[in-house]
Every structure is written in structure tokens, then in C-alpha cells.
Amino acid sequence: MIRFLQTPGPIKKVILSGILLVFCGAMVITLIPGGLGSNFGFGAPAAGVVAKVAGQDVTVLEVQQQAKQLLRQQFPKGGAQVSMMLPFFASRAAEQLIDQKVIVAEADRMGLRATDEELRDELQHGQLGSVLFPSGNFIGKEGYEDFVQRNELTVPQFENLEKDFIRMRKLRNLVTSSASATDADIRQEFERRNTKIKFEYAVLKQDEIRKGIHPTDAELKAFYERNKTTYNNSIPEKRRVKYVLIDTAQVEAQTRVTREELQSYYDQHRDEYRGPEQVKISHILIKTPLPGPDVKVDPKGVEEAQKKAEDILKQLKSGAKFEELAKKYSQDAESAKNGGSLGWIQRGRFPSAAVDKAAFSLPKGAASDVINAGYGFDIIRVDDKQEAHVKTLDEVKDQIEPVLKQQKAARAAENAANSLLNQARTEGLDKAAASKGMQVVATDFFSKSDSLPGIGSAPQFMDAVFSEGEKSPPDLAPLSQGYAVFELLGVKPPATPSFEEIRSRVENEFMNEQASVLLAKKSQELSDRAKAEHDLKKAAKELGATVKSSDFVLPDAQIPDIGSLSGPASVVFSLKPGEISGPINSGSNGIVISLMEKQTPSDQEFAQKKDQIRDSLLQKKQGELFNLFVANLRQQMEKSGKIKINQQELKNLTRGQNEEGM
């Protein structure tokens, strides 16, 4: 039993993808029949549960946390508009979490287990090894608990997730053990990746063709009538409202927190404010040589490094200033700029156990002898020390006060919104707002995708407004910044525009269609002429196409006017030198290619890259095999009723995705 990995701590569960999505997060969700839109009939999960998989819940909280994690991974820098993508990521997160439960359930059914010893080995030698066991040394119980807490998990939660990961990996290994890559497969893939070609290509641009199209009114009206069904109700429903905003930030600015409230919160969360034992140190590091190709370290280099460190120590003992010696000699460039200061460091956080031991055994103000740290020779000085202790209220007051202000403001804003709503339903919104000194905003007609003053883009608000019936009483909708109490004033149903109303749109679509047809026709003519005359340049000149040439390029190259050669233009790799392609559609361009030269890779290159190609090809086949296995497994569990979806909770989480195109 690895007891040091089993000490619980009060934390919230947030980080899921870092552990469970190592291999299943990249699964092709489109392989799953039905997806989350499937209806599984009776016995829907309870409120707060998005799905139940083989008796295990996927909760709303888990999906929200997973979605935020995915959002941070995709947009690490954040941004004002990033939160608008949350409904889309909530849908992805729900899919991934359901897949995880499916895989774990199958691992359970097959009797796959993860022992404590396997868990320890995973933590020491797996992806987290460099964090939890730097230089092979465990960071210590306190460091371990701190790491888990920073990821907002309890230790048991974290270790159970890691064990799930181990069992999932075992299942994947069983499923994919039959995957193989033959020598023929490897050779074919090698040649596909490494064959180089050089070619000429003629380009016809749709934009140039479009300039020559001048439609008459009769042609446009005929186009409008022919495509009228596509314009039906293309003017979206619009609504007009008036509303009052309750801004949580404004409420928070007026919120005050008393000393008694601070004390009460502090007493309830005292365990969260335990300060660990730590020391503030400075050091002078002289590095030893790195191992050579034979994995051996030059002993003369080690001896020279030690001698240099001992010379520095002599200077220090003779009265030289530590900071000046650090700036002059230390080979830790970052700390050397600051006179060798490393700042505050907790026990167990040093890469070297010898340095760690010295740092916590020396008294404040003392300097060490030369320490062999393994990677170099170190001299440290203890600048300050702090024993493990519970921080006082005054020490953590600045941390607690914003939390309490946010909590109080959120409650106050909710109460204010409900109070205004109740009064508005009896007296009317204008009178209720006036009695509270609040401003009423009245809008013109707007569509569901519009932004409103003070609200911006707010899917939940728009859902509430566009689901109200005419003559409904005032209602309440949550916003990212607080609440809005609103009243519906009018509805304009969807409408079909007349030709005159959308003439410019019709003209644009007509010209695009005609240009596309003419581009395809002209590209085909270009190809036919070039093949008949065995001369691409001559045919291009006759039809006004531009001719360009490439250097030798690989299949993943990007070519001007063509784009990626892995797209439609990949057909060029099947040509023989001198052959001319058929017409190739490259977005808004028509392309015809004449292959000039082809260079196939040598047997020597194949020998060098064979193992690399085999590994990547095998990984690809294993991934495809496991994706198919999970898709089939999920389909079976859906049919047998072992997967149930709470459509209402899912709708709440992903609200706004369809309307906003997210």
C-alpha cells in the first residue's frame, strides 16, 4: 500500500481531461451513431445529471468543468469572446465524459483492475513523473497534496482517476493488440510521404470570370423564382422588449464585508490556510558536464567544477559578498541576476535531496559547504525560514474578502432581481423600476442573433425572450453579468422577402453560381486542350489562364493558388512525368497540372525511416481500431438501455449553440 498517496484533502473536482483524455479524448465522436441527440426513452436521469452510463452518473458539474478545461486548452490566452464558445465545448465535454464511462464500464465487465503498485509506477514513470518525482525523488507528502489541491481534486479522487486511466489503457491494449503494419504497408506509406514532385500548373480564377457576368433583371427574377424556397422565412423572427439590468459587479462595488463575516468564513475554512514549512534561499551553482554519447560523464570536468566551487567557498569565507559571487560565478543564469536568490521553496521541492536536506537543516543566515547536487556543485545560503503554521486571519484577509463580496453580491443581485420581477408583475415594469431608481431600456425589433445595449450576446436571455408568448407577464433571465427583468412588447414572425427587398443578395448568388459553372466549364476546356496539344502553356495562353511552376515538393506542401497538396490536387502524385491532370477545383480557382518530374525516395532513406514509419502507422491503425470498438460498444449500450441521456439538462448546457452557430 502506498500510504503517502492516500491522504485525503477537501477539494473540488475540475481537472478531468489531463488524466482521462490521454488517448480517448481524440476519438472521432462522429463515429458514434446518434450522438447526444439520441432519445433513450423512459427512466431519464435525475436533475443535475446529464447522463447515466451503466449506473454511473455524468453530472452537470463534471460537464461544465470539463468544458472549461477544453476551452482553456483550445484558447489558452482567453479573451472576451471565448466564453461564448462554452455551449459548444459543453457538447464535446459531455460526449467525452460519456465515452470515458463507457470504456471504464467495459473494463469493469472484463475484470480489468489497477493495483496500488501499478498506480505508484504510473505516477513515478508516467506523464506526471517529472512533476511528482523530479530527478527520481518524490516531492513529499505535502508537495503531493499541494499538487492535487492545485488541480482541485481530493487525493482519493485523483488516484481513482489515475487508476481508471490505467484500466482504460489496459482495455485499449487488449483491443488494439491485433493491429499490425506489414512491410508492404510500411513501404507504401513511406513512399506516399516522401515522394517529391515538380510541376507546372495553370490557374483560372473565379473572381476574374465573375467580373464578366452582367445579369439582366429578367435573369435575376427568374433565379429568384427558381430558388424561392431557399428564401422562405429567411427574414428571421424579430421581437421587441423593454428590460432592466441588475449588474452583479455594481452590486459588488457597494457590498461591504464585516469583520464577523470574515472571521466566520475563516473559521469554516481554516484548513485551507495552512502555510507549509519553507525556506528562502540563495545559491551559487557550478554545473558538471553533461554525459557524452557513451552516457559517461567526463571525470576531469567534474573535478574542475568541484575545484571551482571550493574556490568560491573560500572567497565567501574570506568575507566576499554572496550576492556578488553569485552574479559573477553562478551558472544558474536566472537566479544569478538576482544575487543567487531562489525565493521561498517548500520542503521536498528541490531537485536535489542533498540540497533540500541542507536548506532545512541550516539556521537562518548560514551558508553551506559545497554540496554535490548530482547535476553540479551548489553553495546555498538560508536567507529566511518559516515553520509550518496556520495563517492568521489578517494574513489571509485579502484572499477571503473578495470571495465573500462575490458571494454576498450574487445573493443580493438575485434577491433584487426577484424583488423587481414580483413588483413588475403586479405594477408593471416601468413603475416597479421607477420605485427602485432603475433605468428601463426599450429596444427596436431585433433577431435572436443580435446584441443588445448592456447585454451583448446573451444566448440564455435570447432563449427566454424568444420562448415567451405574446402578452406574457414580465419575466427574468440570467446574464453573464447578472440578471435582466424583461417584458415582451411585440413580435414580428419570420417572413419571406420580396425580390426587390433582396435584389442585391439575389444578384450576388446568381453571379456566384454562374461564375462557378463557367469556371468548371473553362477548367475542363483547359484540360482537354492541354491534353490534345500536349502543351499546358499553349492551352493556358489561348484561354487566358496564368501558368506557374513549383519546386520539388512533398505531399504535405502548400502551393500558391492551390493550397494543400493533400486535398483535391493530391491526384498529381498519381501522374507520370509529362501527363496532364483533369480539372481540379481548388476553392475559387480552377487548376490544371502538368507533372514535370517525380523523385522517389531511395532504399537507404527507407532503411533510415522504416521504424519511424512503422510506429506511426501502427499507432494510426490502433487508434482507428479502438475508435471503432468504442463506437460499437456505445451503440450496444444505447440499445440495451445502459446509457440514458437527460435531454433537458443537456439542452440547458448547450443552449445557444444552434442559434449562435457555436
- Three-class SS of 623-643: HHHHHHHHHHHHHHHHHCCCE
Res 574 pLDDT > 90: yes
What is the model's pLDDT at position 619? 92
- Is the pTM higher than 0.95? The answer reads no
Mean pLDDT of 444-449: 94
Positions of E strands within 391-530: 441-442, 475-479, 482-492
DSSP state of 363: P
Task: Return the top range by mean pLDDT from 4-18, 265-279, 543-557, 643-657.
Answer: 543-557
**How many beta carbons lie within 10 A of that of residue 369, not counting itself?**
12
User: Please, what sign has the CA dihedral across residues 302, 308, 312, 314?
Assistant: positive
Mean pLDDT of 145-167: 84
Which of 547 and 40 is assigned the larger pLDDT? 547
- Residue spans per domain, the chain: 3-178+623-660, 196-229+502-599, 238-259+395-492, 277-387
Tell me whether strands 274-275 and 475-479 are parallel, antiparallel or unpaired: unpaired
What per-residue confidence (pLDDT) applies to 649? Answer: 81
Q: Mapping DSSP to helix (H, G, I), strand (E, B) and coil, where does residue 246 land?
A: strand
Q: What pLDDT is stored for residue 77 in this prediction?
A: 66
Burial code (b: 16+ CB inside 10 Å, e: under 16) for 516-552 equals: bebbeebbebbbebbbeeeebeebbeebebebbebee
Place of cell 502543351: 535
Burial of 98 (0-12, 13-18, 19+ CB in 10 A): buried
Q: Which residues have CB under 8 Å from 654's CB, separation 6+? A: 87, 88, 90, 91, 94
Select the CATH number that applies to the domain covering 3-178+623-660 from these four: 1.10.8, 3.90.1720, 1.10.4030, 1.10.10.
1.10.4030
Buried-exposed string 140-171: b where 16+ CB fall within 10 A, e elsewhere: bebbbbbbbbebebbbebbbebbbbbbbbbbb
> Average of pLDDT values for 422-449?
95
What's the confidence (pLDDT) of residue 271?
77
In angstroms, how far is CA 462 from the centroid of its own chain?
A: 27
**pLDDT value, residue 49:** 86
Mean pLDDT, residues 359-380 taken together:
93
What does the pLDDT average to over 554-569?
93
pLDDT of residue 657 exceeding 50: no
CA dist., res. 331 & res. 284, Å (int): 7
pLDDT band at 71 (very low <50, low <70, confident <90, very high): confident
3-178+623-660 and 277-387 have identical folds = no
The secondary structure of 268-318, three-state, reads HCHHHHEECCEEEEEEEEEECCCCCCCCCCCHHHHHHHHHHHHHHHHHHHC
Q: Tell me the per-residue pLDDT of 248-301, one tens digit each, with 9 for 90 and over.
A: 989 888 889 999 999 998 888 887 787 788 899 999 999 988 766 665 778 898
Please tell us whether the domain made up of 238-259+395-492 is placed in CATH 1.10.3470: no
Topology annotation, domain 277-387: Chitinase A; domain 3 (3.10.50)
d(CA 5, CA 13): 17
d(CA 243, CA 525): 61
